[in-house]
A and B are shown apart, each in its own frame.
Chain A
Amino acid sequence: MLQELFKNTKEPLLNIYFTAGYPQLNSMPEILEGLVNSGVDMVEIGMPYSDPLSDGPTIQNSSSIAIKNGITTDMIFDQLSKCPSNISKIMMGYYNAVYLYGVEKFCEKCKDNGVSGVILPDLPIDIYLKEYKGIFEKYGISNIFLITPETTESRIRYIDECSTSFIYAVSSSSTTGKGTGIQSAEGYLRRLKGMNLTNPLMVGFNISTKEDFDFASTYTAGGIIGSAFIKHIAGSKNLTQDTETFINSIREKK
């Protein structure tokens, strides 16, 4: 499904991250509705974790509110099962939650609920290959790996070989929501483009405006927005509408 999305779409792809269970425990359907209405291509559903090491204050905060709201992995799947299915879905979280849930059970639930990719930034590739690749493949779940400006060329090529849908290119070596500006990643993105990798790239971190998104998309298949969207919906009274307003500010409705 992800593979087809990349193959069949010529326009830059927009992927939006939101934290499950935030701002309210049951906000997911409303948010997803807004995302689908405004023509977003992919959504990344964040599984909140108490100690999100790669995240800055915005996502730390949304995660801890979601946990206080009482969100669990099972509830996320339950909410997903009641949501529109005509949009590509990716689950993003930390390895610990998936490890405790059981990797096989997790992949099975992903498959049952229309999730086609998983991002676990702290699951090392070698452990994935050794222990879990077979399970992911069995359920048709694509594991998506990160690269950063510090990743060496040979490792990027290795990650490309291990990838099955797209590569998540982190635009700066930082935690999420740092806001150091996407422009400084130009050399890196240009270098990536020149590598002619097998898998398409999506750029994440430091994208919060239309300009950022357009900039990232000139070098890659598209961009991922997280913290900026979470900030936008904080305190929202009408999640669906506010979601649409945000997306329309990034990209004209298709």
Chain B
Amino acid sequence: MKIKVCGMKHPENINAVSQCEPDFMGFIFYKKSPRYVLDKTLVFAKEMNPNTKTVGVFVNSPISEVLEIVQEYNLNFVQLHGNESVDYAKKLYNAGVNLIKAFQVNKNFDWDKIKDYKPFVNYLLFDTATKSYGGSGLKFNWELLRNYKEEIPFFLSGGIEIDDAEMIKEIDLPQLFAIDINSKFETEPGVKNEELVNKMINTIRMKSKYQVNDKGFYGEYGGAFIPEMLYPNIKELQESYEEIIQSDSFQEELQALLKDYVGRPTPLYYSKRLSDHYKADIYLKREDLCHTGAHKINNALGQILLAKKRNKKRIIAETGAGQHGVATATACALMGLECVVYMGAKDIKRQAPNVARMKMLGASIVPVTSGSQTLKDATNEAIRDWINNPTDTHYLIGSVVGPHPYPDMVAKFQAVISKEIKNQIKENPTHIIACIGGGSNAIGAFYHFLEDEDVELIGIEAGGMGIDTPETAATLALGSQGVLHACMTTVLQTEDGQVIEPHSISAGLDYPGIGPQHAHLHKTKRVKYSNITDQEALDAAHFLSHMEGIIPALESSHALAYLEKMEIKPTDRIIINLSGRGDKDLETLTKTIKE
């Protein structure tokens, strides 16, 4: 949806608001308006950022005057806000002026009268009916818009304020083209509060300061630091992924699979015994109940549908714990695609049950013996495979890492977790806690709460033997900024830029990098990051097994263990994202059963 900021007047203010990149800026040429333009406004407007179109707003002015002003100030559009006739519009339109015709709507409005203007206008604008010509700061009943049956796209105007953003996003009229904001974003008539405007623009565009920008960055993190060999492939993916995954046919197919194949929505389980124990309300988001046993399947299915739409014949993936490998092998079996999974030799040993499952599902598993023989090196090998197979292969990355658009794309597929949570709660939780390897289950659990600043979001990294030892995978605690796996992020590395081999008992968290969005959420302090040691995670796994009869994955146990470390108030409502089940970890877990 586009945004027009109307009633601009002062050059400094215009300059500041331009930074928010509205699509249109309106200048009022109606002498009776308190927002009537100044000469210097126009000189300035003439040199505006070409991405923002200028609109001159007129009320029953003589045509010659309008034409003169349009010429002199290079206005891109003229908005007719008075009782201008069809003939009037026709004359201007035929003189080459782009037109927006405004109508004042109330319940007696005659929608038929729009018809005659249709050939001569580019857009319509619906404003609240008043005695004068707009500017009332009042809203009309938007239900009335249902009477609009024409095809010409329209601007919605009249008293729109910041709190209307969500409601506006829910209006499902395809002709709704833009919103027009004005008086509710002002400190005085003609002076806009740029922060408020910015917030509105970001909410409407569904862009938040926490989400990826159009260059593929989250603040200074992200991007696509790829060799030229991958350029055509990634470029095409960057340009097409949003459109594909937003399309109705894609969503229909994906939602059906998530429901009937994965078993979504997963329960948000109120854990009575944990709640009693910790003296607060504790909920578990049961991603462990997904088909294949972890959240990874949400992303694997999303990407496999995307790969199919892009006619890819061969799927490659990296895996650490094997959960993503299993999810990918499952998705490939379902779609009849060839599947190759790269897995570190060390992980093949410690996650044997998942290796067996992948084989059962018909995937080929390539053991990776370079470097630390874990997730980082499996990812390297998968990327190398991709370089060698640039046209027919889709690289199905398992977390919110890698070059843009992967971090955003995977986040969007995992966002279903927090979307469901929102539907499952009456009141926002106080805390959401999730473990972080690359960060996909965490982003999924946080996604729809990022703008709800009252919810404390906590990401848990693997502390390994402790962050004061070299045997750790706590990237944000100890890392520095650098490029790993083709994105700028935080990395465990030497001063010279050599990546340090991490350690965690949990293969899925044993990674020396982190998704760029997390690096950004850390930097902006929106999410709090902490870490949990191998031992603490093991203890939490045993504890949950005994308390609730749920054996958690070692990864998820890191999030659970944080309950021991945080200060809990009786009024707290804490959600733990239980990202996966512990079947794959039984060998490690049973070794540590206390007799």
Contacts and interface: CB of A to CB of B under 8 A. Distances in A.
A69 interface: no
A124 B497 CA distance: 18
Contacts of A49: 497-498
B380 A173 contact: no
Given A50-B499, A150-B391, A175-B388, A127 B223 contact: yes
A174 interface: yes
A236 interface: no
A48 B482 CA distance: 16
A94 B391 CA distance: 24
B371 A122 contact: no
Contact of B482 (A99, A121, A145, A147): A99
B225 A97 contact: no
How big is chain B's contact interface, by range?
20 to 34
Contact of A94 (B229, B376, B483): B483
Interface in A44-99: 49-51, 53-56, 60, 64, 67, 72-73, 94-97, 99
Contacts of B376: 51
B380 to A, nearest CB: 5
Contacts of A234: none
Interface in B483-501: 483-486, 491, 493, 495-499
Nearest to A73: B496
Interface string B371-413: 1000010001001100110110000000000000000000000
Contacts of A173: 229, 387-388, 390
B370 interface: yes
B96 interface: no
A127 B488 CA distance: 12
B224 interface: yes
Contacts of B496: 72-73, 97, 100-101
Given A53-B227, A53-B383, A122-B483, 7 more contacts: A53-B486, A94-B483, A124-B223, A150-B233, A173-B387, A174-B388, A175-B388
A151 interface: yes
A249 interface: no
A154 to B, nearest CB: 12
Contacts, number: 99
A27 interface: no
A123 B498 CA distance: 17
Nearest to A53: B383
Nearest to A48: B498
A121 B225 CA distance: 9
Nearest to B500: A50
A67 B498 contact: yes
B336 interface: no
Contact of A100 (B224, B391, B482, B486): B482
B226 A150 contact: no
Contact of A60 (B231, B370, B491): B370
B404 to A, nearest CB: 10
A157 interface: no
Contacts of A53: 227, 380, 383-384, 387, 485-486
B163 interface: no
A178 interface: yes
